[in-house]
Structure 1
């Protein structure tokens, strides 16, 4: 299994953790676009963050992390579904080179929006400024300031491998004393801070946990698989076309020479609709698949 999250639990204190490894799914995201290395690295870190959060939140729907800025990297967007399917995309200026710098340089005045969009129930959204040195720091600050569980992130991506570690302090149970809880939390976080980039990217989860917490009693749960998948479809593209209204859809059809093309920005899939398709859509005839001669 090359793409998975794996939970662990400290038996003697109120802290749980989650680790993520993304290889194939991250490689598939990168294969769709020719991203410069600094952009690919930040996108990989955001993919890892979404996978970690998606594994810890209880929801049936979609988790979206969207970072926007006024800089040379105006958009990073990652989605992770409750079905453990992940996808991501970046928008960047063409002159970004390998030495473009990190988060501060690429995404000045940036804002990260976290959205949980359940199939049933109320939508949740939180916003944090991208004023830290890394995505890990920004996400950790967000959870430190919010009313949610105290959480710390460690995220790394390099050469098609994305990794992440998340620690969360749980409600008081094993350690009801406030001072003991604070000391325990500081202890596990301080040890995690010693984890190098090379260790997080190169070692398996059991080895990492042993190196960090060999004096603690830690229970490691079974790995849960993840995969790249795009939620685009001909039907969803048709619904977007219908949402324009018949007059505007016909005008777009004429403007594009008799065939409307809708491209998925995540996976580069292309959906085409000719005049007959548009007539059928607004007549309530549904979205028949194109003939074998059309692509």
Structure 2
């Protein structure tokens, strides 16, 4: 089979990540550098960064409470990478990254296809966060966040946002733009002080201590599989909405581009005036 599929089924990484490793020259097959599309057999000797890879029989899904400061990368040259931090005996790969400055729920698995199914942006899987900001959360702010905010040349999907405390809120996203919550808050004149992911689909962080991990339960795996299959069937039937369930559709901004000043960052007074004027 193709090398990228082999590595995916071996639980090493996703197919896309495998292709990137090939392009970086980090994979050897029987002593020779791998090429994109290379075919391999079970007898092939595959090395990634000098470490031999074998398909694992045991399938695992880990629920990990990532601390702040730990980076979501499989590059072991990065000092505080998540793989070295958990030091799990079977090679695992994260499903859905968290920023280095963020904490909370991170799923790790050796099931490459599971990663692919969960991370497809069009599937709209829910991810829930609790966020603390630098000033009081207002109803206007909550409404603007839930309606959709222009960032990165688009408008974010409608989402569910509820107030938690004077300076904190809970948000459920169905997309994963780069540093999305931080950018949304920044556009509205807020600065994120703490960002914690507490749920991915049906899997919850619960009271798992920071830096600790546990194996997903059989019930969690069964429900996760059911949700994935249901979503995939809905997508094939054209029933998957691009918004949070119950929210009003938000049309893509098309040619909209975030103004240069916004990308570079407006000072808080300018942001506040824009927010008060436009909502």
* Greater C-alpha Rg: 1
The reply to whether TM is greater than 0.5 is no
Which structure: greater strand fraction? 1
**Higher RCO, 1 or 2 (CA under 8 Å, sep at least 6)?**
1
TM-score bin (small chain)? under 0.3
Higher helix share: 1
